[in-house]
Amino acid sequence: MMTTKVAPFRLKPWFSERVWGKRDLRPWYVDTGTTEPVGEAWLTGPQCVVETGPFAGRTLASVAAELGGEFPLLVKLLFPAEKLSVQVHPDDAQAQVLGETRGKTECWYVLEAEPGAAVALGLKDRVSVGDVKAAIADGTLESLMEWVPVSVGDMIFVDAGTVHAIGPGVVLLETQQASDVTYRLFDYGRPRELHLEKGLQVIKPKTAAGKVAPKVMDGFTRLIEQKYFVVDRFDFGEVSEASVSFDGPGCLVGLGGRTAVSTSEGEVVLHPGQAVVVPKGASWVIVDTDTGMSFLRCVAPI
């Protein structure tokens, strides 16, 4: 997706109501447009509306189709007030067998974490798919999973096929393939559909999921580098101007401060909790601030 000669453009978040979400998303968002609990703010969803430039008022899906494809990354903020369902995602090959376009490999970057916050990431040793099926039936699936404490700044890789769940008390930034294929295995008695046949079919007892150690690079911190995405963090002081390179289509996600993002085609301001899409073909952008800033660069490798 995305040809050159297109200026970076900012997207309006799209808020997804979820039974496990929150009504108050401050300081990230003051108004979500609903009084219902919101679990996810989609920053680069296909239904997100462009706020700036010549594409203003159109959806990202519409713009991407005009420019030759689709945006390859789905970036979200997650706001769980309760436990999410226990779920699993297929890899690309499994998804296509099941009639889906692609699988869902993802990662979570911890932005906020209360004491004791944890996520479930994979199955304990020697737990089989048959054990999972029996534990779903008797309500003991949580006891078969590896629960991992999390703190602010942790990056967690969630490999396709990993049985996983997210506990309350965190705010996560999720970067994933452009797919929302989710098979719900267990939902704590909530009256929502389960997907046991497909879910059990794609479980992998062992995966590459786990915490990822950050790497200090030249001017930024590499949080994760995988087949489908690379996520880096940039932090600048009060007066800074810097070049940020792009080796594929991607976006910048604001975490704090006011950031001006510009190329030769134009400039846009990046706000915390929003994404600015950087078109493919723009090999770099200039970022500028007079207040200090922090942001993530999320790129789909070419």
Residue that has been written with the tokens 């289509």 in this structure: 249
Q: What are 199-231's pLDDT values in tens digits?
A: 999 999 999 999 999 999 999 999 999 999 999
- Entry pTM: 0.96
Tell me what the mean pLDDT of segment 18-33 comes to: 97
Q: Does domain 9-212 have CATH number 2.60.120.10?
A: yes
How many angstroms separate the Cα of 157 from the Cα of each of 34, 107, 110, 128, 248? 31, 4, 12, 22, 21
pLDDT, residue 3, reads 46
Helical spans, DSSP H, in the chain: 60-66, 92-97, 129-138, 196-202
Query: What is the amino acid identity at position 218?
Result: D
Query: Percent of the chain, pLDDT > 70?
Result: 98
Selected catalytic residue, list 10, 18, 102, 184: 184
Give the per-residue pLDDT at 2.
43
Per the prediction, the chain carries an average pLDDT of: 94
**pLDDT tens for residues 170-203?**
999 999 999 999 999 999 999 999 999 999 999 9
**Fold of the domain spanning 215-299:** Jelly Rolls (2.60.120)
Percent over 90 (pLDDT), the chain: 84
Confidence of residue 126 (pLDDT cuts 50, 70, 90): very high
Domain with CATH 2.60.120.10 in the chain: 9-212, 215-299
97/68: higher pLDDT:
97
Answer yes or no: 184 catalytic. Answer: yes
Indicate if the pLDDT at residue 263 is higher than 70. yes
